[in-house]
Amino acid sequence: MKISTLITSASLAVTIGLAGCGGGSSNDPEMASTPSTPSTPSTPSTLSTPSTPSTPSTPSTPSTPSTPSTPSTPDTPTAVSGNISQLGILNVGQSPNGINDADVVDFLATFFQSDVIFDSTLALNSIFPAADTCVVSDEDDESISAPEIDGLDTVFTMLTAGEVITISSPAGTFASLVPITEFGQTNYTTDVNLPAPLPSGLTADIPGGQFPAFANVAIPNVELISGFSPTLNASVSANTTFTWTAGSNPDTRISISVDRVECTVLDDGSFTLPANIVAQAEASGGLNGSGGYEIERIAVRFEQSGNALLVIITASESS
């Protein structure tokens, strides 16, 4: 699915990477009680064996702490486990929708309660699939709605997560997201457009409410997408091959949207719509292609706290 659509429609069917002595005794004093055998003290040469303490060199193994470099993997969405019943989605994007066509940075966060407890890997697989995945949406409505998670039949209700969600950069506060309720739905967003580019090193602090608190959660960076073909306003068909310059981060995906067909695919530089999806879309009148298509690169991070899963998605939309 097109992730920004998933988020902005919360049908985002969300990168959690969390993370995780010897000696010996001597009998020489006892031998000293037998002075007749003082020659044996030559045996103290055996004290050379204490050289074995060189084994303490094994403390070199503490070099393993180098593993803390693994914190670089927090964007790798593989640390999700167990069951959850709450889902939070924070969408961070850079898009060409600003005044005078200037790129802007936008944020949108929504939080949900499921009426059933479900396996967290269902959310992982829907949001960050291991292989190319496409769906045909039922309608063109992109209003905020409940998330759609493959293999899950549930009813979601919206939750609050505190008064203000703070987005921070190394320079200080970058954005403040406040709750806005419209049509019975509460979403957290900014009331102003923020100029691009999206800075690196951003973190999010969620104070918590009905949805639990999350502190200092890293927002994943994402490369700008480039080299895509055909051009965005070109007509596309079932046989169109979409190409772009593949990304260098294996933990990113490409979102492609054509009419009501939404695909999340591997960031390998090329994709063609599957025949079964084309047939399904054509049967429902959901594949016209005359209006062009949308494409963006996404990076995902998951954070889990008990039965609550927070998903942060950073998207770079083509312009």
Residues 272 and 239: beta-carbon distance below 8 Å? yes
The CA–CA distances, whole Å, from 102 to 96, 264, 275, 296 equal: 6, 26, 37, 17
β-pairing, 261-266 vs 104-119, is unpaired
Partnered with residue 254 across adjacent β-strands are 265, 297
The one-letter amino acid code at 143 reads S
Q: What's residue 85's pLDDT?
A: 96
Q: Nearest-CA neighbor of 267 among 292, 242, 287, 250?
A: 250
pTM of the model: 0.73
Pairing of strands 83-95, 308-317: parallel
**Strand, helix or coil at 177?**
strand
Structure confidence at residue 145 (pLDDT): 60
pLDDT tens digits, the chain, 319 residues: what are they? 444 444 433 333 333 333 333 343 333 333 333 344 444 444 443 334 444 444 444 444 444 443 333 333 344 444 688 999 999 999 998 876 544 456 788 999 999 999 999 999 999 888 899 999 998 887 654 445 667 788 888 889 999 999 999 999 999 999 999 999 988 889 999 988 788 888 889 999 999 999 999 999 999 999 888 898 998 888 888 889 999 999 988 889 999 999 889 999 999 999 999 999 999 988 887 687 777 889 999 999 999 999 999 999 999 887 5
**Domain locations along the chain:** 3-14+76-317
Quote the DSSP letter at residue 221: P
Under 8 Å between Cβ of 158 and 111: yes
Q: Nearest CA to 284 among 257, 309, 253, 261?
A: 261
Concatenated DSSP letters for 133-165? EEEE-S-S--S------TT----EEE----S-E
pLDDT of residue 111: 97
Which is nearest to 170 in space by CA: 198, 202, 142, 126? 202
- Indicate the residue type of 220: P
Q: Provide DSSP, 51-119.
A: GGGGGGGGGGGGGGGGGGGGGGGGGSTT---SEEEEEEEEEEEEES-SGGG--EEEEEEEEEEEEEEEE
Q: For residue 298, which of 225, 244, 203, 217 has the smallest C-alpha distance?
A: 225
pLDDT of residue 193: 78
pLDDT at position 24 is 38
